[in-house]
Structure 1
């Protein structure tokens, strides 16, 4: 066991779930300048995919921004799950498996870094479009998320995840897409978290001339509307040929599905948003890029399958309304989202 001196700023990491990771990152950002920072994992009692991805990203960013100061981790050796998932290696600590090294199964996917240049090389070697390569990965992720090999829900989430990953490829300017997943049988809950280190949603949407974006929270609301996140506007990029991706339905469908059968979290820049059962909660974060958390309660899967057609119709209705508005304001997007998240009984 390593011991830190009393003069070194020490961060005691207790939980790496959504709230715990955000709180730990905020505390880390508030540290004064020092030659050495200590990250103490001795009190760590719970981890989840989102917390692992988010906090590892924060540690990488913090270490790069505070050079030549050093960061030292202590009391991490007992955390076998985090080590197996590739958490420690993902922020530069030589302990446990590398990201993507663990094989994974139907109950978990380890922290995985899907590099954009690797995807492009794989697609070139297979003589296919890189988006087809992404589609195959997303079909597998949708299978883990829904715990099914087929069906309408798995199909729809596969399309939606494909668009989310394509948006990272085409608009974020990120070098890689990070993701991880976990299924907890005793809770009947499955989580898929995705993170990129790109320009963020606000900058990505800023090229759309019909949006008035004042801050990161505005950008999040726009991105969740169908027909906006895919930059489907006159003068924008040529629309793609598939069921959802050509209209920007990826974030809309995933957020709608998870908000009804679990919860959905999106964070970018200085803002985050949690959606669950028609309730919206704002989160104060600081992340360069974008992070998503999709949670679904497995017992809700049948009900979600039955709701898909209604969600598609409501998405089409909102997209149609958007096409009749020359300029979209944040207040308009809020009204559309709040109306759309109103759950039918």
Structure 2
């Protein structure tokens, strides 16, 4: 449904241009949940705004292609759409649920009025009574009582505000919903309710989801495919089960090692030393090599691409690590996944 190729997003400023999304490519299929993970500053939200073309200056999509294919097989380039085409495309075909519902919702408009705005703009043929019925229907779909349509955002709990945002995103039955950290700042009980509601709606309505978060435990549970971003680039893509059982990129392993498990033997949480890179002064070679416990000499001079690991094709794991390059020198090259290499990673030793 959505095919993104070589997408680059840059921010201009007095200090020069900063590339926040660098050569990102991925494919979203019908009914699929694509999870995008990474630390703060890795480019996740910038990517979400790029997909929906919500960037304003000084942001600029300097290169790449975003191609959307509708259910009838019609394919369009989102980046070449005129303003009128883009207005019709958003919410009809692709909608977004923003990170903070309290900031995304208009504080001086009632929840029902904000949903009605979407319907009035895109469904001018609907009568007022039909719009009112649709508002009640949408609120019911996300588990909000109909009488809360007259409430202002500040009169709703955090979970209900987030559900109201999802209701707005669903108003026109879009084919794709981009969710930018929709459960951030919610407690775990409400978070669970939101996730269960999203998955229930996806299975019922058949839309696809791009789910963006820094919480890998969420993505592993709800995603079909996971893409991990670091320094503006995708460094690993894999089926969710494969990613959980055997993450391939050292950064992915570090992220997973930062989460405690609910069962099994006790283990020490290792995490990742250091901080994400400054996009204004990116390291040479592999952007992760200053923090990588298994880096070798070439990592500081050669920039890896996404290498296919195992059998290429749909769902195959790809990792941007020189250990998987056919001609990659140094220990662990050419896809070596020995137990010794795993132990050295866990202990944080440099190869």
Q: Which has the larger radius of gyration?
A: 2
Q: Which has the higher contact order (CA 8 A, sep 6+)?
A: 2
Shared topology, TM-score over 0.5?
no
The TM-score normalised by the length of structure 2 is: 0.29
TM-score, normalised relative to structure 1? 0.30
